[in-house]
Structure 1
Amino acid sequence: MEAENIAYTVVINGKPEGPYQLEQLKALNIRPGTFIRKPGMDDYKEAHEFAELRELLGFTYQRTAPQYFASFDQRLLASVIDYFFITIAFVLLALLSFLIIEGQNERIMAIVAGLPVIPIVKLIYSSIAEAGKKQATAGKALMNIKVTDLAGNPVTLGNSFGRNFAKALSAAPFFLGYLYSFLNKKQQCFHDIVANTLVIKDRLI
């Protein structure tokens, strides 16, 4: 069956419409992320996944598909794992400091004064690790997820730092920026929107 004779069903404003012939799709406001289905397909795919639509509409293929975006619980668990490792390192350093610092009050003050360092270390570590070769922190690597740009490519160090700084916006007020991921089809939090990034998981095949 030639592409010109294939009938395409297009999701427009949340509703499937069509069928349309290939040339008719030019008149529609189709974006790379528009969901489209053609005969023989069990489910819809994004427009950029069709070779003939990339040629017709000038899209580029994005190496991320909807089913491969990391869910909020996966991302949360990855962050918890990272904080666990960083906290363990902080506790070990605190114990070593006891060899130098004398007096119970002084030791308590040293621990309290060092607590704000933990999120700062997390920010720096995450920014560097997510812009590195693995594109992931230890927690993300254990969860088989990583940070990419919108096309599925590695992010730059500057963009990674910007993304992690923007997490402050996601956290305030009431972590609404994180909860936004439940309303976003690519499961992006607000800081992902700001930095134009995705968090994706390994493909099953």
Structure 2
Amino acid sequence: MEQKYFIHDGTDKKGPYTLEELRLQDVRRYTLIWHSGLNNWTEADKLYELKSLFAMTPPPINLSKERHQPPSYQPQNYSTNYQNGRIEYLNDDTLKIHYENEIIHYRYASFGERLGARILDVLIIIIPSCLLPLFAGWLYYALLHSSNDQQTMGQKVVNIKLLSTDGMKVNFGQSTGRYFANILNNLTLFIGFLMFFFNRRNQCLHDNLASTVVVAELRRERKY
């Protein structure tokens, strides 16, 4: 029986398609593909049978802009403004943020990923916390979560990060509030942590109070 393929565009699942039909679709490097031989959705350029689609694909050219460029024009280095972004929550429990030059797709971080990151972070700050109780943990989380990476060292290891629910970059005050709100998780006999399992965004109590969400990146799309 001929293999059938499905496409996920971030909102809907499409298919099934034969391989030849799939090649006629608007498949890009980071398009998510699944067939019965895969354990999970996989990016298109990682599938052997689709590699030829991307091997010699030149970048698209905006001819209207090219005609008006002065002779001395030199392409500028590509960079993204991560200070502001328009966030879009999708029905498949994923989200994407529209920045000036690109769109980044995320999924919500799992409980295991967050727990693993927290254990690593505790091991990192356990000695500084003995020397500077409260201050060491506060500064560690508040400074790193409000940095450009928006992730602690433990979160960086498991590839998750903190986002503001409005698409803005998490600031120092917001990350400070989240850190101290975490105390309420303990005062509520850990019920604050259990809230993770009862909302679509996988938020604990301190996430809700600080208007933040913990995510893992899926893929990026360049805006042209």
Q: TM-score range by the shorter chain?
A: 0.5 to 0.7
Q: How does 1:145-160 map to 2 (within 5 A)?
A: 145-160=160-175
**Which has the larger share of strand?**
2
Cα shift at 1:151: 3.5
Cα shift at 1:157: 0.8
1:39 and 1:201 map into 2 onto residues whose CA distance is 20
2:134 and 2:183 map into 1 onto residues whose CA distance is 11
Question: What residue in structure 1 maps to residue 205 of structure 2?
Answer: 190
Question: What residue in structure 2 maps to residue 84 of structure 1?
Answer: 123
Indicate if the aligned counterparts of 1:179 and 1:189 stay in contact, CA closer than 8 A.
yes
Which amino acid in 2 is paired with 1:146? K
Indicate if the aligned counterparts of 2:86 and 2:167 stay in contact, CA closer than 8 A.
no
Question: Does the C-alpha gap of structure 1 residues 61 and 159 become closer, same or farther in structure 2, counting only changes over 3 Å?
Answer: closer
1:125 and 1:38 map into 2 onto residues whose CA distance is 39
Question: What residue in structure 2 maps to residue 135 of structure 1?
Answer: 150
Indicate if the aligned counterparts of 1:78 and 1:140 stay in contact, CA closer than 8 A.
yes
Larger radius of gyration: 1
Which amino acid in 2 is paired with 1:80? I
Count of aligned positions? 128
Q: Percent identity?
A: 28
**Which has the larger share of helix?**
1
Question: Does the C-alpha gap of structure 1 residues 64 and 127 become closer, same or farther in structure 2, counting only changes over 3 Å?
Answer: farther
Indicate if the aligned counterparts of 1:150 and 1:197 stay in contact, CA closer than 8 A.
yes
Indicate if the aligned counterparts of 1:82 and 1:122 stay in contact, CA closer than 8 A.
no
Gap regions ≥5 residues in structure 1: 1-36, 43-59, 91-113
Gap regions ≥5 residues in structure 2: 1-10, 17-84, 95-106
Runs of 4+ in 1 over 4 A off after TM superposition: 37-42
**Pairwise CA RMSD of aligned residues?**
2.8
Question: What residue in structure 2 maps to residue 62 of structure 1?
Answer: 87
Q: How does 1:24-35 map to 2 (within 5 A)?
A: none
